[in-house]
Structure 1
């Protein structure tokens, strides 16, 4: 983790436990959200899916949401990875990737979340995730562009996401120089 310099340096696990090299998202805008199925903020899945669907229509694969289930806040995500996937699909029609359940705080925190909290601390410099459904926006360059509290509704993030999507894709720039 100490050598990580961007979002692309990590390989979290997907719902099947397979590594997902985040470098596959180079040049894309990514919203990272820690999620839970039995939380007062759980209805945000609907808002996240709506945002994801809308931006995919206008920007194709340039935008992705990655959900990271976490059971650290009030034991509000007690299910297995399979149960979580089923819940998200059946109740909210979630089509964005829901990754393997992780810890976001403490000694066992996933390396990605250790890095996110280090580069974009919360209020008063706190380097911890406060609750479910905190959101981190990753720009096309792999750097954290914003962090929002659980209470921030997904639709409120449309403008900052669109601002990042307007920025040139560094991957496309390389191809254009050939």
Structure 2
């Protein structure tokens, strides 16, 4: 790929890849390393044709994360405070109270997601935060679309159970 094309793709997809990597690794430094490595691999593909760059980039990040985990890097639980601060998008027009409520809901969601299996978190992150389609998620996870739909359904159901257990005591 040309350098100017990589720069444009970097501007478009860096935050998405970082948010995904951070939600899986729970460590900002690891997430940044993984994303930089993924973009480096994109640069190395030179003239390679990548149909859906975002899905390809997320898959490369996923593979890099699992490689790091296999090499003895312990997975840490999500630092909900750091994640909420780095990923929360606040609209200037929102009132202070609405902003606080949103942050608390976001933190609650991440606390619940931190209790889930990594793969379940991945499905929810890819669908709701990265806004990938079922087909794109299937491509990233290297599963069929049917298996992806089932996994996403099960992840949602598990998230509901966790929320019930935490907040409906």
Is TM more than 0.5 here? no
**TM bracket, shorter-chain basis:** under 0.3
Task: Say which structure is richer in strand.
Answer: 1
Higher relative contact order (CA 8 A, sep 6+): 1
Based on CA coordinates, which of the two structures has the bigger radius of gyration? 2
Task: Say which structure is richer in helix.
Answer: 2
TM-score, scaled relative to structure 2: 0.24
